[in-house]
Chains A and B, each alone.
Chain A
Amino acid sequence: MTRGLLTTAVGSYPKPEYVLRARARVARGEVSPKEMEELEKRATAHWIRIQEELGMDILVDGEMYRGDMVAYFAENWEGFTTSGLVRSYGNRYYRKPVAVGPVGRSRPTTLEWWRYAQSLTPRPVKGMLTGPYTIVDWSFNEYYPTREAFLMEVARAVHDEAVDLAKAGAEYIQIDEPAISTRPEEMEMAARALAVVTRGLEAFTITHVCYGDFAAVFPQLAALPVDMLDLETANSNYNLLDLIRQHSFGKCLSMGVVDVHHHETESVEQVKEGIRKGLEVLSPERLYIDPDCGLKTRTEEESVAKLRVMVAAVREVKEELGIE
């Protein structure tokens, strides 16, 4: 029997109310970092249990202890500070990391969280990192003379983090690069930085990319130095699969089958339809199934409902096609 169609998630899950409230109070000094960590651990255990109960194959820790995917690393590394508030859109503001000196880790950043999450389950938990291009692109730079110098230094730090995770036993390491296709003219440099991260790494490597003109840069995306590409296929009505059909594609694909930007839950039938479309272009061994992107902007109920539909659809497709 063929094997495949492993289920996973992109990274983040919604934080429970008690974590959100406590985060605000930590900022005001009303909750100690230790108490905060206990709450984040509780929430992590909660999400590990949900994923196990749903029957997912490769789990994530849900990033209960991270705010923004770039700011989290910047806050824990040397060489970064945070800016005053900048606007994202409408009335939404955030503090952007600012490189003010040589950036890098003084100690492992995500390792203890990965160990904790993995200690809770026999199923593999992914190591989750943010890629160097995205860290650089979403930060201000007041230190490095060029973007490239900044990028390569960040790449070395992310590499060290990845090595620590692999040594600790992480079988899967995902390096998220949502920004990587922002500027086609910088793709080559971004790919070189990602190669620094994954060089010699003994783990199955994944990169999640989530916007941009993929048609223009697909050959470069297909050549990124990772084992698997993770794409948001559901929210573009699976049109991205045409790119795989049209280009030579030697990687595995992690395929988004539920749209994370909509409240409504897809039907099992809709998701099965999507998976079948994926199977038209790739064999089940090379096809992984997940939501389009992190679920942190959905509610817990919406997230669980979407994951449940995803797992049910995979199970039915597997039965119908005799996939183990």
Chain B
Amino acid sequence: MITTVVGSYPKLSPDAGAPSLRAAISRHDAGRITVEELRRVEDDVTREVIQEQIDAGIDLITDGQIRRDDGQTYFARGIKGFTINGLIRYFDTNTYYRHPIPERRLEWQGAIGVGDLEFAVAHSARPVKGVITGPYTLARLSQMGCYRDLRSLVMDLVPILNREALALQQAGAEVVQFDEPAILQHKDDFDLFAEAVEGVTRGVTARTAVYTYFRDVSGIHSRLFQLPVDIIGLDFVAGPANYDLVRDFPPDKMLGFGIVDARNTCLETVEEIASAIGRVSRVVSPDRLHVNPSCGLDFLPRKSARAKLARLVDGVRRAQEVRS
């Protein structure tokens, strides 16, 4: 069993003396520090959250996405043709992101997250996952702009994000993960989605993952499980129906098992986590599990995120003891 995270990690530490990204951004916005000084604080906070994940016992980490305002604009700002509009709600969460609009036909203009991934790899004793907002979700969470239909927007994003995936692999990503929560809100689009996943993972030899969250995968689960990726991530907190659906989980894939609630501070017990692992292990053997929170941890205060990861690791250990 491998313990991992879905991606984001809370940016603000409550610890006295910890570097404050919030203060640094305000100071930068007010013109009181340079962009280089802001980058140094981002570096410090990134090192800090990498260490927190490692200290919690997480095997496969991310950079915590400290430098991302959100999963959409981080990529949209790096793709030629996008402009960024006003705030809009992110799914059913009480958080917001800025709405990307493709004003012109989208074009690749360079790698986006490679520098951040290289930084994480250089500062982590554990392997690092590269996380990309997948083409379907990025398109769904953007306005249509100059595009006439969703399909043409998705399919223009595919080669751009495929180059990004290849670049992250080159930079040392152990796993290249595509976050695709939007497909669960529009299951009728599965054919387009499958085509996009196939295109965006083409030529990637690092292990690949597609992560879904916020709902269960009923209605699309058998087709989802056949996608040409190595790891499929499911949210078992928002979607408890997934326990039944993974009975069809194919033997040649890994399951991203999202079990601690990354949207609520209520701390699961070790027993609850261990018993959830026991339950899923009846159909997916433990050596094929990536155990992780239900989604990115940025919905929680830092202390709670830390406690959740520590608890996740304890739950996995307990489950291993029970089996051995």
**Complex: how many Å from CA A137 to CA B95?**
12
Which of A87, A96, A141, A211 lies in contact with B10, CB distance below 8 A?
A87
Interface size on A, residues (CB 8 A): 22
Given A98-B265, A140-B265, A141-B266 in contact, is the A84-B94 Cβ separation under 8 Å? no
Interface centre among B69, B94, B96, B267 (most CB of A within 10 A): B94
B residues 179-212 touching A (CB-CB < 8 Å): none
What distance in Å separates the Cβ of B265 from its nearest Cβ neighbour in chain A? 4
A215 CB–B CB distance under 8 Å: no
The reply to whether B89 and A88 form a contact with Cβ atoms under 8 Å apart is: no
The reply to whether B303 and A87 form a contact with Cβ atoms under 8 Å apart is: no
The reply to whether B69 and A90 form a contact with Cβ atoms under 8 Å apart is: yes
**Complex: how many Å from CA A142 to CA B267?**
8
B26 CB–A CB distance under 8 Å: yes
The contact string, 1 if C-beta is below 8 Å from chain A, for chain B 82-104, is 00001101001011111000000
Q: Which residue of A lies closest to B8 (CB)?
A: A87
The reply to whether A86 and B301 form a contact with Cβ atoms under 8 Å apart is: yes
A179 CB–B CB distance under 8 Å: yes
Q: Which residue of B lies closest to A89 (CB)?
A: B96
Interface size on B, residues (CB 8 A): 31
A246 CB–B CB distance under 8 Å: no
B residues 29-87 touching A (CB-CB < 8 Å): 29, 69-70, 86-87
The reply to whether B12 and A93 form a contact with Cβ atoms under 8 Å apart is: yes
B300 CB–A CB distance under 8 Å: yes
The reply to whether B299 and A141 form a contact with Cβ atoms under 8 Å apart is: no
What distance in Å separates the Cβ of B69 from its nearest Cβ neighbour in chain A? 5
Given A84-B14, A86-B301, A98-B265 in contact, is the A91-B96 Cβ separation under 8 Å? no
Q: Which residues of B contact A138 (CB under 8 A)?
A: 94
Q: Which residues of B contact A137 (CB under 8 A)?
A: 94
**Complex: how many Å from CA A182 to CA B185?**
13
A-B pairs with lowest CB-CB distance, top 7 = A84-B301, A89-B96, A142-B266, A140-B265, A91-B25, A182-B92, A83-B301
Additional 17 contacts, C-beta under 8 A, given A83-B265, A84-B304, A96-B301 = A87-B10, A87-B11, A88-B94, A89-B69, A89-B95, A89-B96, A89-B98, A90-B69, A90-B98, A91-B22, A91-B25, A91-B29, A98-B265, A140-B265, A141-B264, A142-B264, A182-B92
Q: Please list the residues of chain A having a beta carbon within 8 angstroms of any beta carbon in chain B.
A: 83-91, 93, 96, 98, 137-138, 140-142, 179, 182-183, 211, 261
